Amino acid sequence: MKPRWKGKGSKAKASADPMSKIVSQLQSSLIQTKTCGLLSSCSVLVEVDTELADLLNRACFGRPRITAEKDKQWFQLDMEETFYLCFSLKCLQVISEDGSIKSNEELWEYFKSKKPVFPISYKAYSHLRHKNWVVRLGLQYGVDFVAYRHHPALVHSEYAVLALPEGDNDLNVRLRVWSDVHCTVRLCGSVAKTLLIVVVNSNGLGANSPSCLEHYTVEERTITRWNPEQSREDQRGLQNQTKEGIL
């Protein structure tokens, strides 16, 4: 699937303003301002000035909260986003309600307690973010994430992402039966996305510490429906269908 840019000029805009640079600016700005987030259940709240608010929006981290405050803005971060900023980009610190700073290990344990599949879902999230894709949670599509090639204002997301652990275990709950495959592929298709499975292999390392993540391996696979009525014409046609995974 090719990227579907929204409106004229979006592709050029994106080209002129690479996501890697935006994220890098966000990282510097967070470090400079020594920004801290407040942990509240599964969310982390950050209070930021206009410049940081702009960077968070452009890099697509968190959701702005509309408040009456004038010169400061509040953002709400998801677990994966928080951990990416804290652990991967090392530009954010998280404080619990008693004022103590949570170390990355503590944060890891805490997030795992809220979401047992967090190690897998985080690996998939960081894997895609690291490649400069914009990744947002995809609950409304029945998947873990949706991935955009750039800012969602500029481009439609191409992928609906499921993060699945390798092997047969308790955390592997999706696509275990064919009806789920049919359902998920059909839903993705009806919202013009390709189903992308990010298979995370923990390589037997467990998930005791975020340092395990480094040695997890990831394989990406797309699952697409093939229609034999449509591919009869030529070899190229068949290859293009197969290359639905080529994007």
| Interacting positions 75-114 with another protein (CB under 8 A) | none
Is 125 considered catalytic here? no
Give Cα 139 to chain centroid, integer Å: 12
Least distance CB 209 / another protein (angstroms): 25
Least distance CB 144 / another protein (angstroms): 15
Listed ranges 84-92, 94-102, 179-187, 209-217: which one lies at the site for another protein (CB under 8 A): 179-187
Does the protein bind another protein through residue 170 (CB under 8 A)?
no
Is 156 considered catalytic here? yes
| Number of other residues whose CB lies within 10 A of the CB of residue 228 | 8
Locate 202 and state its tokens: 């923990």
Q: Comparing C-alpha atoms, which of 61, 63, 60, 56 is closest to residue 29? A: 56
Does the protein bind another protein through residue 132 (CB under 8 A)?
yes
Beta pairing class for 101-102 and 93-95: antiparallel
Q: Contacting another protein (CB under 8 A), which of 25, 38, 45, 54?
A: 54
Please give the DSSP secondary-structure letter assigned to residue 73. E
Q: Which residue has the tokens 């000029």?
A: 9
Q: Contacting another protein (CB under 8 A), which of 29, 35, 126, 157?
A: 157
| Number of other residues whose CB lies within 10 A of the CB of residue 192 | 12
Listed ranges 79-87, 117-125, 145-153, 209-217: which one lies at the site for another protein (CB under 8 A): 145-153
Is 193 considered catalytic here? yes
Q: Contacting another protein (CB under 8 A), which of 13, 88, 110, 112?
A: 13
| Number of other residues whose CB lies within 10 A of the CB of residue 163 | 27
CB-based contacts of 124, cutoff 8 Å, min separation 6: 144, 145, 161, 163, 198, 200, 218
Cβ proximity to another protein: between 109 and 220 the closer is 220
CA dihedral 237, 241, 243, 246 (to 10 degrees): 110
Listed ranges 35-43, 76-84, 97-105, 183-191: which one lies at the site for another protein (CB under 8 A): 183-191
Q: Contacting another protein (CB under 8 A), which of 97, 98, 170, 229?
A: 229
Does the protein bind another protein through residue 139 (CB under 8 A)?
no
CB 85 within 8 A of CB 60: no
Least distance CB 117 / another protein (angstroms): 17
Q: Contacting another protein (CB under 8 A), which of 95, 104, 115, 156?
A: 156
Cβ proximity to another protein: between 20 and 100 the closer is 20
Identify the active-site residue in 122, 141, 193, 216.
Answer: 193
CB 158 within 8 A of CB 148: yes
